[in-house]
Amino acid sequence: MDPTRIFYVLSRGKLLIVAITAIAVITGAILSIFIIPPVYEATAVLMVGKVYVGSYGSAMLRDDIQLANSLMHSYQRLVHSSSVAQKAVQLGKLNMSPGELAAMISTNVPVDSQIIELTARANHPVKAANFANAVAKAFTVRVEELMGVKNVTIVDAAAPPAAPVKPNTRENILRAGFTGLLTALIIVFSLDAQRRQNKGTEG
């Protein structure tokens, strides 16, 4: 199809293109703002290993760092254990089952560090923070119960997030607009092809 024909088809179907694209954008906005439930994430930061306070401030001994590094995978698995989830429900006085709480928790361990980033997801920012802090506290308690030492420190408690991570309203609107525009173009050019075919048949 030559450029002149393309311009003609677009000009003739511009109202349909604008209408379909606008409907798609409005639909995307309504779904993101009013229909899709929000998801909030709050993260607590934990440090594994004994911390000593001296004249130069807080520090960790080399042997403790090596021990913590060797056990980081085990510590991370312990965060997701049912015993920690059960303890978190008790300490946080959460109205949910340990299994439900465990499903909302994820962890990340930065490479070559003694840090565990513990993230909780919920449909409310305060709930997300409460869940993360309850699990963080329960984890420190369980480690002490199992190992007999206090070698897990909560560096940063989780705070209620200012905005949800999902849905991404801007991204959803852009995607809806692009989908609507593409759909409109397909319809317009399909209608034009059908009209030309009908004329050819009549001729």
Q: What is the pLDDT of residue 202?
A: 61
What CATH code is assigned to 40-156?
3.30.70.1130
Q: What is the pLDDT of residue 103?
A: 96
Q: Give the phi and the psi of residue 96 in degrees, each rounded to 5.
A: -165, 165
Q: What is the largest CA-CA distance in the chain?
A: 98
**For residue range 7-23, what is the model confidence (pLDDT) as tens digits?**
889 999 999 999 999 99
pTM score, two decimals?
Answer: 0.74
- Beta carbons of 113 and 153 less than 8 angstroms apart: no
- Helix-strand-coil split of the chain, %, nearest 5: 60, 15, 20
Q: What is the pLDDT of residue 58?
A: 46
Q: Is the pLDDT of residue 52 over 70?
A: no
**Predicted confidence band of residue 140 (pLDDT cuts 50, 70, 90):** very high
Q: Is the pLDDT of residue 65 over 60?
A: no
The C-alpha atoms of residue 183 and residue 36 are separated, in whole angstroms, by: 23
**For residue range 75-124, what is the model confidence (pLDDT) as tens digits?**
899 999 999 999 999 999 999 999 999 999 999 998 878 899 999 999 99
Return the bridge partners of 43, or none: 119
Q: What is the pLDDT of residue 42?
A: 98
Share of the chain above pLDDT 90, in %: 66
Question: Does the bond joining 3 to the residue before it have cis omega, within 30 degrees of 0?
Answer: no
**For residue range 175-201, what is the model confidence (pLDDT) as tens digits?**
999 999 999 999 999 999 888 888 776
Tokens of 86: 């059960």
Average pLDDT value for the chain: 88
Domain ranges across the chain: 3-35+167-202, 40-156
Q: What is the pLDDT of residue 96?
A: 95
